[in-house]
């Protein structure tokens, strides 16, 4: 049997090798062309509840309502909070008057009264001395009794003590309150002010406001329900800003950087593409999530990206799958600082 000629075999082998090379090259992502990633709109929800406990008096919105930041969503019965404020205001005013009294000192009339008492005790002391002298003279002349002398001596001691007491009372009256007592009264006033501020804040917290623009996803409670502090009343789905979560392989990591413009495409036919920017690149690698479709193996390591999207028409919905197109990055490749944990 005749052997095939080598002049036909070698060209055939070379042709097959060239065809295989062209096919392999066509399957590789273009290093300087468009990079397409698959991602999903992030699901961002907030459980909203009152900071204080109470009975729900009003529910201002229902499920599906679009709310803006700061809008009131619900309110509690405020009568108990208002009564507490009234009581604390009275206690605060009482303590404030007590501090003013201590800082001002005693009234002139009180000082004058203490002076009159001292003068009265001084006169009584002088009279007691005269009585004692008379009793002593009579006792020496044998015309008086020992008992009369002892009674006069005891009366003098009592009058002396009363005079000294009135004298010290006048000194204290003129000196006013001690500094330590005034400081204690001021501290009690500060405590009353703090308690009143807490009550006022609790009254404000009796209204539940939207922390951000979004859509009411769930209405958990109804009017008349008694709720504890922090108990969920609404579930709010945040719509601003719109974030998309996607992943880039380690091979293409050098082609992305924070602030880079991207294009967003939806699966729905006829919808125009949206614009966005890369706002965050993870600094650590992770295994490819099961929900991500890539050409690489499932065990390949990828880096998480966050895309901030401009969605004026509100066509994106949380959890919606999208395709992200990134064009060639001009200039030097992203540095380590550009790949840091950064938000726009």
| More confident: 255 or 228 | 228
Six-digit token string for 315: 């066509």
Q: Which CATH architecture has domain 46-78+207-237?
A: Beta Barrel (2.40)
- Cα distances from 261 to residues 10, 43, 200, 205, 279, in angstroms, run 50, 22, 48, 42, 10
pLDDT of residue 164: 92
Q: Who contacts 147 (Cβ-Cβ below 8 Å, separation ≥6)?
A: none
pLDDT of residue 338: 39
- Cα distances from 118 to residues 109, 114, 135, 162, 174, in angstroms, run 14, 6, 26, 9, 13
Mean pLDDT of 266-274: 88
**Is residue 21 over pLDDT 80?**
no
pLDDT of residue 104: 83
pLDDT of residue 70: 94
Domain ranges (residues) in the chain: 46-78+207-237, 84-201
Six-digit token string for 27: 């399957």
Of the pLDDT bands very low, low, confident and very high (cuts 50, 70, 90), residue 17 is low
Q: Are 130 and 153 in contact (CB under 8 A)?
A: no
Work out the mean pLDDT of the chain and round it to a whole number: 83
pLDDT of residue 262: 92
pLDDT digits (tens, 9 = 90+) for 327-336: 754 444 444 4
pLDDT of residue 174: 81
**Is residue 6 over pLDDT 70?**
no
- pTM score, whole prediction: 0.61
The answer to whether the peptide bond before residue 241 is cis (omega within 30 degrees of 0) is yes
**Is residue 76 over pLDDT 80?**
yes
Of the pLDDT bands very low, low, confident and very high (cuts 50, 70, 90), residue 9 is low
**Is residue 140 over pLDDT 50?**
yes
d(C-alpha 286, C-alpha 291), whole Å: 14
pLDDT of residue 288: 62
pLDDT of residue 108: 83
CA neighbours closer than 13 Å in the CB half-sphere of residue 26: 6
d(C-alpha 212, C-alpha 304), whole Å: 25
pLDDT digits (tens, 9 = 90+) for 251-260: 888 889 999 9
Neighbours of 140 (CB within 10 A): 10
d(C-alpha 122, C-alpha 128), whole Å: 10
Six-digit token string for 80: 């108990």
Instruction: For residue 185, give the nearest of 87, 86, 107, 104 by alpha carbon.
Output: 104
d(C-alpha 176, C-alpha 104), whole Å: 8
pLDDT digits (tens, 9 = 90+) for 229-243: 999 999 999 887 889
């Amino acid at each position: 049997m005749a052997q095939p000629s080598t002049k036909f075999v070698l060209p055939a082998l070379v042709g097959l090798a060239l065809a295989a090379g062209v096919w392999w090259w066509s399957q590789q992502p273009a290093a300087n062309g468009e990079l397409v990633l698959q991602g999903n709109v992030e699901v961002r929800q907030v459980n909203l509840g009152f900071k204080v406990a109470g009975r729900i008096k009003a529910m201002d919105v229902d499920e599906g309502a679009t709310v803006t930041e700061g809008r009131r969503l619900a309110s509690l019965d405020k009568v108990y909070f208002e009564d507490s404020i009234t009581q604390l205001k009275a206690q605060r005013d009482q303590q404030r008057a007590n501090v003013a009294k201590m800082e001002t000192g005693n009234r002139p009339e009180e000082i004058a009264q203490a002076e009159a008492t001292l003068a009265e005790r001084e006169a009584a002391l002088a009279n007691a001395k005269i009585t004692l002298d008379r009793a002593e003279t009579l006792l020496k002349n044998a015309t008086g009794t020992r008992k009369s002398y002892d009674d006069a001596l005891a009366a003098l001691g009592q009058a002396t003590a009363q005079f000294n007491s009135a004298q010290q009372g006048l000194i204290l009256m003129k000196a006013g309150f001690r500094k330590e007592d005034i400081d204690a009264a001021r501290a009690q006033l500060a405590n009353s002010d703090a308690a009143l501020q807490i009550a006022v804040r609790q009254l404000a917290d009796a209204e539940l406001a939207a922390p951000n623009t979004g859509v009411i996803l769930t209405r958990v409670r109804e009017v008349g329900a008694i709720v504890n502090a922090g108990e969920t009343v609404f579930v709010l789905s945040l719509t601003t800003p719109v974030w998309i979560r996607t992943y880039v392989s380690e091979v293409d990591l050098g082609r992305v950087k924070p602030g880079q413009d991207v294009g967003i495409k939806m699966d729905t036919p006829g919808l125009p593409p949206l614009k966005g920017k890369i706002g965050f690149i993870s600094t650590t690698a992770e295994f490819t999530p099961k929900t991500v479709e890539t050409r690489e193996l499932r065990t390949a390591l990828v880096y998480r990206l966050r895309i901030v999207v401009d969605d004026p028409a509100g066509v994106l919905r949380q959890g919606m799958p999208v395709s992200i197109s990134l064009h060639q990055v001009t200039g030097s490749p992203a540095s380590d600082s550009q790949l840091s944990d950064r938000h726009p």
